[in-house]
Structure 1
């Protein structure tokens, strides 16, 4: 995230991210409640208490707004990787960062409203054909940001070195497999234990079960 000498640019960037998240969540909520075809950009702007012009400043479509929720979670994972102790092994930092961002927000044992919106958004992305192109772009943007964080931690370069991009792609794929496994399970399945299993198997070199 860019920072000016006095930190004001950082604050502006944070505000922009907050607005993006609010618009994404409003889009997800309305599409879940009313159905994909029954929600307009005007509806979303009204629900988020902004103008249609403001929505258009952030997103070109409701599909992009929904996919942005995935990008934001990966941005937080990248931020967490950057904030972990420099002496911590990279893979440990990544696993902890991923678990932190996928852990339920309600520590009393229930699922928070934020986590429910995220799950609803993922189900939409899996089920709605109109979203597939935006999902591909969202995944690419998320991997790029994570690769930058990994490059900073390892002293590598995303332009000349394959390592940070490879690790980011593996983390993205592993997380996606765990999430889809949980969403498609017959019974409610917490995602964190599945993530732990996925990353344990990756760390072990994917041995045949």
Structure 2
């Protein structure tokens, strides 16, 4: 996503991104315990006071890639609800999630480092899980709305878990490959196609 219009908003966006990238790179290199807020601020070229204007902790600086992460979820919900009516609910959700996956592919070095840092540090993993749970609630409600589900129906949560699982599997495989030989979008498409086919056993290679 491009920076927002307006000098002040653009400056805030760029400062957030500079701090987030610095935090990711330092933690991926040294480990969470060996990195301080002072280290992150210095690497981004700002003061510690400025750091705390943007993040509550170094963990947040690693996990929260964009300053408008809550608004991004709202926009994803809007795009999902605006998908053509002839699409199935699953296809509509896949179309929106594919855009999110493509964003990751635009900054492979940063996201590979972020995923490595999260995997190696339990505190970051738990923070990421909490963030994902916060984002899941409005998406689940939007799925229920589009599909016309009754309150308490299993379908919205199940669909989000299935498509989200395909996304997680694609990201994990992409990280294992160190972003080489394929794109995260191609892996996501492959995962979704496999799910849509009923998740058949892959061809045996031995």
Structure 2, unaligned runs of 5 or more = 1-5
> Which residue number corresponds to residue 99 of structure 1?
98
- The alpha carbon displacement at 1:187 in A equals 7.5
Q: 2 CA distance for matches of 1:149 and 1:52?
A: 39
Indicate which of 153, 171, 174 corresponds to 1:161. 153
Alignment of 1:109-148 (within 5 A): 112=106, 114-148=107-141
Q: 2 CA distance for matches of 1:56 and 1:203?
A: 45
Identify the range of structure 1 (142-151 vs 21-30) with the bigger mean alpha-carbon deviation: 21-30
- TM-score by structure 1 length? 0.69
> Which residue number corresponds to residue 7 of structure 1?
none
Q: 1 CA distance for matches of 2:94 and 2:156?
A: 15
Aligned residues: 189
Q: Does 1:36 align with 2:32?
A: yes
Q: 1 CA distance for matches of 2:86 and 2:188?
A: 23
The CA deviation string for residues 98-145 of structure 1, in whole angstroms up to 9 with x for no partner, is 22222268xxxxx74x33212221121122233222122123223223
Structure 1, unaligned runs of 5 or more = 1-10, 106-110
> 2:31·2:117 contact (CA, 8 Å) conserved in 1?
no
RMSD: 3.7
Q: 2 CA distance for matches of 1:205 and 1:72?
A: 33
- The alpha carbon displacement at 1:55 in A equals 4.3
- TM-score by structure 2 length? 0.69
